[in-house]
Amino acid sequence: MVNRLINLCKLIKIIKERGNLPLIRRSRKQLRDFLLCRGGMNHKSIFVVIPYWFYMLKGLDVLVWRLETFGFLYLPGQPEEDKQRLNACL
């Protein structure tokens, strides 16, 4: 339980440091669907979402990888020109 709370604090810190804020502002619906597990193959009922995310906080690396894959987080050490190029199509 304590490990998951520590991972939640680390996740918040990672989002503040590496978050792709232009993409997050532009696609709030997509992020909301991601958090509520409403899209694609990961469709879950609202009653299962909270235990699912509680379980996902057990392993922070998988959660960070998923956020990087969807583009909500920049890769660590990514140059500024790569960040601008990534967001050029918004």
From CA 7, how far away is CA 23, in angstroms rounded? 23
pLDDT bin (cut points 50, 70, 90) of residue 90 is low
Please provide the average confidence, as pLDDT, over all residues in the chain.
Answer: 85
From CA 64, how far away is CA 79, in angstroms rounded? 19
Residue pair 22/74 in contact by the 8 Å Cβ criterion: no
Please tell me the predicted confidence (pLDDT) of residue 13: 93
From CA 50, how far away is CA 46, in angstroms rounded? 8
- pTM for this prediction: 0.76
Q: What is the pLDDT of residues 59-77, one digit of tens each?
A: 888 889 888 888 888 888 8
Q: Quote the Cα angle for 37-86-61, to 5°.
A: 45
